[in-house]
Amino acid sequence: MGRIEGLLKAYEAFVSQPWPAHLSGPEKVWFAVYEPAQERRLSFRIPEFATATAKAGHSWRHVGIGGYFAEWMAGHKYREAYFEDPEALELALTDFTAAAAAQVQAALTAPAVTASTVVALSGVGALFGLTKTSDILEQVTSHVRGRLLVFFPGRHENSQYRLLDARAGWDYLAVPIIAKNGD
């Protein structure tokens, strides 16, 4: 069995378990952790995660934020100045983080999203160097009604998450979903 198949199998088992209702927002976040080299394979298999969610009796909503920076930049009034002086962009990245969080929050609070909905977030690796996944999650976790599934290209070791294996990890209350060894 391949790595993504193993992750899908682990997710199927996980999403089928009862969902405690008394959890805080950060405890309702699941990280589907996979090797960064598997990003393309995972992106093609996201519909299978949706199918597994439906089989478990839950609804699904997918939010891809991998291309959001380009959309945000295209609409920014100072984009030309940032292209001429990319170092000046650093001042605007706080605004970008807030805008990305607002997009995720809108998905989490959409009328069709209930306490039985998995809102799946993909593309967080594309934000590397622009913002931190943890900064976005801190702004949205209080709005999680059902579960927030973050497809996370990186590692989970000793209760620490490392995006793209590149930066020091951070502690987070999210529940890791990881393919078992040998899967």
pLDDT for 118 = 98
Per-residue pLDDT, averaged over 7-13, amounts to 95
Give per-residue pLDDT as tens, 57-101: 999 999 999 989 989 888 888 778 777 887 878 878 888 899 999
Q: Which residue in 39, 60, 63, 46 sits closest to 8, CA to CA? A: 46
Instruction: Report pTM.
Output: 0.89
Least confident range of 34-48, 81-95, 115-129, 134-148: 81-95
The terminus-to-terminus CA distance of the chain in angstroms comes to 5
CB of 92 closer than 8 Å to CB of 82: yes
% residues pLDDT > 90 (the chain): 50
Residue with tokens 């290209």: 153
